[in-house]
Amino acid sequence: METALQFGLLFLSFAGWGLAAFTVLKMNSAFIPVFLLSAVTVVLFGAGTIHFLPEAAWALYVGGFVALALFLFFAGRGKCALDKKQLLSPGAVFFAVSTIILMILLQGLYFIHYDNFSHWALIVKEMYLMDGLPDDSTVITFQNYPPGTAVFIYYVLKFVGYGESYALMAQGLLVLSGLTALFAFTTWKKPSYIIMTCIAATGLFFLEFHRIYNLLVDFPLAMIAFTPVIIAYYYRTDWKRSIWTTVPILVLLILIKDSGKLFLVINVLFITGMMLSSVWKKEKGWKKTLAPGAAAAVLAGVPILFNLLWGKYTETAYRSSYAENKFAITPSKLFDPEKGSEFIQTLLLKMITTFINWESTGFITFLALSAACVAGLMLFRIYSRSIPRMLIYTFTFLIGAFLLYMTSLYLMYLFLMPEKEAVVLAGFGRYTVTIILYTGAIGMGALLLEWSRIKQPAVKTVSAVIFALLFLTPVYLNYDQTARPELQDTVRAKVKPALERIEEDEKENARILYYSPKSQEDSGYLHFLATYEQLSENHATIKSCSNDVQKKQFRSELKKADYLVIVDHDNSSCLTTASLDADGIYKRDGATFKRLQ
């Protein structure tokens, strides 16, 4: 009940800022969620770099209530007109309803996924406990990874309390805020358009449904990346409004992940094109081009400034240099990728064959959405004898964006990623789904906008059925992903309660040895899990004790340990000779270990 009240107060604070955006900035209510959450994150990030993160969080939180109170005051005096139909638009209702559904779905969940413990949940936990951006006092390994989503999650947890399911809910808000922008052109007068947009949003969400159960940032990046394109088109005749609406979103893109810089470039090119088109329709000439050019400089310059700010912060916050980071872009990597000739020669072909995978949901969805685009072009060619120029320009832009993204992916594997990971195209599935979501959202949005203008009922109905079947492809393929991941029967189900019991034993900074033969092929999962749970590197993991070298290592680590956690027992001589006869927690008692009750 207390948590529900805290969430309610947080949403009231958000509502205050949202009403300010709606009444003062005259913003489309479908854009308010993504604009507001982006602006909050950007402000908090900037404050965090100068060590004022908690103060900024409180200022934003209280400021929301002040904005709400001012709105109610002026509305009560009749000085603040409110268009309820515009405020309670289909987009606003979609965001509210989907937020409630998502919170119910995520309630009570715990982190299980590998990448949560290696970085994404770890940085959230560190930030929450230290009340600031991470520094060298933390156990964060990937120190140059931008902290965008973690900053927003910190803000939510700051006022509702720490909880892993609450962190998932916070990231879910970012995802839903992006999807809400798809409803920008919908109205209650066109219910069929609302239904089709809901279908499109559902298809996009289901493509990566399982991502809502972890804090990996690829999903929120993709869901937010396409929104500047929709906003720019919506405000195509008011490019000044387009700029200040999209700037915080563009900044957020580069704060979420380094690949957000590529989406920054793509989006800035699109927005600049929209601005030039708007200006040149009235009057051409170099003087008329100066203003959009300056606006484009602002669109690119502000995010770049924040990127430099993050670089400066990491230089002062961490002892290690930027070049030591895993994916750092350095001259040595660019001039000498340190990859074998066979890898270089086969990389492009390997990427193509990996992408064309009939067992991949992403590839099949790519085909389905491509088919929807082709069907749409054929429909308008037959129905109106001409293809809308907007669709031609949109699909041309999407093809260019897709090719540019895949080219950058090729260069990343060639120059930046270590060869051991590049050989297996590590993360390729996640990376390609990101661009499929980006292009898919924009393509579906453009198709539905033109579809909504069809007057003939029969044509509109038949095309709606075709589009709906294709848009829902990810739902058919990924329906089984909706199952909630349970903690039971996982390694964490044993490690988490063991550490809670050790904490109750009141021994500070205890060194813990974990023994888990079943973790031999876990790629470091147990190590990262232990680091996350302890927020310390004061632990060791032994995964086998079958030869002399391993036995020697076990004895050496056992001598240094205060506690031994046997995650799974394998009757190894290392355990039996030390009278460690079952799974559980053992505490040092002189030279021996006794089971902790």
Domains delineated in the chain: 2-482 (no CATH), 492-595 (3.40.50)
Burial 394-429 (b: 16+ CB within 10 A, else e): bbebbeebbeebbebbeebbbbbbeeeebbebebbb
Helix/strand/coil for 487: coil
Q: What is the dihedral of CA 440, 444, 445, 451, to 10 degrees?
A: 170
In the structure encoding, which two tokens stand for residue 496, read together?
């988490």
CB-based contact 193:448 (threshold 8 Å):
yes
Distance CA 236, CA 234 (A): 6
Q: Other C-beta atoms within 10 Å of 352: how many? A: 10
Residues composing the chain: 597
User: What is the C-alpha to C-alpha distance for residues 597 and 594, in angstroms, rounded to an integer?
Assistant: 9
pLDDT score recorded for residue 327: 57
Q: What is the predicted pLDDT for the residue at 379?
A: 87
Give burial (CB, 10 Å; 0-12/13-18/19+) of 308. exposed
Compute the distance between CA of residue 453 and CA of residue 380 in angstroms, rounded to an integer: 11
pLDDT at position 326 is: 58
Longest pairwise C-alpha distance within the chain: 88
Helix axes 286-317, 239-256, angle to 10 degrees: 30
DSSP state letter for 427 = T
Strand, helix or coil at 589?
strand
User: CA–CA separation, 144 vs 347, rounded Å?
Assistant: 27
CA 497, 503, 507, 509 torsion-angle sign: positive
**Whole-angstrom distance, CA of residue 566 vs CA of residue 85:** 61
pLDDT of residue 595: 86
**What are the residues facing 513 on neighbouring strands?**
540, 564
At residue 489's C-alpha, the angle toward residues 488 and 491, to 5°, is 105
Q: What are phi and psi of 297, to 5 degrees?
A: -65, -40
State how far the Cα of 579 lies from the Cα of 3, in Å rounded to an integer.
45
What tokens appear for 86 in the block?
């515009």
- Residue 269's nearest CA partner among 227, 218, 229, 224 is 229
Neighbouring C-alpha atoms within 13 Å toward the C-beta of 345 = 3
Residue from 370, 416, 414 nearest 395 by CA: 370
Is 0.85 surpassed by the pTM of this model?
Answer: yes
CA dihedral 230, 235, 236, 239 (to 10 degrees): -120
SS3 call for 163: coil
Rounded Cα–Cα distance for residues 564 and 499 (Å): 11
Q: In a 10 Å sphere around its CB, with 0-12 CB exposed, 13-18 middle and 19+ buried, how is residue 55 labelled? A: exposed
pLDDT on residue 276: 80
pLDDT score recorded for residue 550: 87
Do 169 and 142 meet the contact criterion of CB atoms below 8 Å apart? Answer: no
Bridge partners (DSSP) listed for residue 592: 589
Tell me the C-alpha to C-alpha distance, in Å, between residue 167 and each of 44, 149, 219, 274.
Answer: 17, 10, 15, 37
Nearest to 431 by CA among 264, 258, 311, 270: 258
Residue ranges in the chain whose pLDDT is less than 50: none
Distance, in Å, from the CA atom of 548 to the CA atom of 546, rounded to the nearest integer, reads 7
| Residue located via tokens 């063991």 | 498
